[in-house]
Amino acid sequence: MQRPPGDSAALPALRDEFPNFRIWRETTGNRTCFIARRLSWGTHPHTVVTADLAELRAELRADPNTAAPRAANKRMPPTERISKL
């Protein structure tokens, strides 16, 4: 099974660029797709599935908060928000 060109170098770069997502490649039969799933609540989009790495990058860049460091996206859990009221 052949990998798409540039795949081995592109995935680590995408993971570094978008630390709020788990990004991996899946191959089923002769089809390969790339999946990005958010790691924390409040990060958008939730999941992106595509066969094109450029499209994956574009979709993840669509929300200005996706490339922010994880610490910047932390939110107070609902129970703590309620207790502060």
pLDDT for position 79: 53
pLDDT for position 52: 92
pLDDT for position 1: 44
pLDDT for position 53: 92
**Helix H segments across the chain?**
7-17, 53-61, 78-83
pLDDT for position 71: 47
C-alpha closest to that of 43 among 22, 16, 63: 63
pLDDT for position 27: 92
- pTM of the predicted model over 0.85: no
Nearest-angstrom CA–CA distance, 52 and 4: 9
Walk along the chain (85 residues) and give the pLDDT tens digit of each residue. Answer: 455 555 667 899 999 999 999 999 999 999 999 999 999 888 888 899 999 999 999 999 887 655 544 444 455 555 554 544 4
